[in-house]
Amino acid sequence: MDAKNQASPRRNSPAGRAARNGEHHDDQYHKEGAGIDLPVFGHVEYKSVGFMAGLGLAGAVGAIDWPVVAAVGIGYALAKRG
């Protein structure tokens, strides 16, 4: 039996492993950005959480009137929804 016909496990070269480093086969990573999962709202990206927190803080200190904060927040949520 010669060496060409023997079944041997094929190993990836270091260059091949480096080229695929960080690949994810789960489509969730490509569809949704990094964020947190909230019980009522589902998956929320960090930049959306930051925007909403800043908007709420501006409304709480009185820099923006609360009806404007509510309108902007609802509009932003509907626009991000889809």
pTM of the predicted structure, to 2 decimals: 0.54
Taking the alpha carbons of 40, 45, 49, 52 in that order, is the dihedral positive or negative?
negative
Beta bridge partners of 44: 36
Total residue length of the chain: 82
Count: domains in the chain = 1
DSSP 8-state class, residue 73: H
Residue 56 has pLDDT above 90, yes or no: yes
Domain span at residue 55 reads 34-82
20-31 per-position pLDDT tens digit = 665 555 555 445
Residue 69 has pLDDT above 70, yes or no: yes
Q: What is the mean pLDDT of residues 20-48?
A: 70
Q: Note whether residue 21 is domain-resident.
A: no
Distance CA 46, CA 49 (A): 5
Q: What is the mean pLDDT of residues 32-42?
A: 79
Mark residue 37 as left, alpha or beta (left: phi above 0; alpha: psi -120 to 50; beta: remaining): beta
Contacts of 58 (CB under 8 A, 6+ apart): 64, 69
Q: Note whether residue 18 is domain-resident.
A: no
Q: Note whether residue 81 is domain-resident.
A: yes
Q: Note whether residue 73 is domain-resident.
A: yes
| The amino acid at 4 | K
pLDDT at position 53 is 92
Q: Note whether residue 4 is domain-resident.
A: no
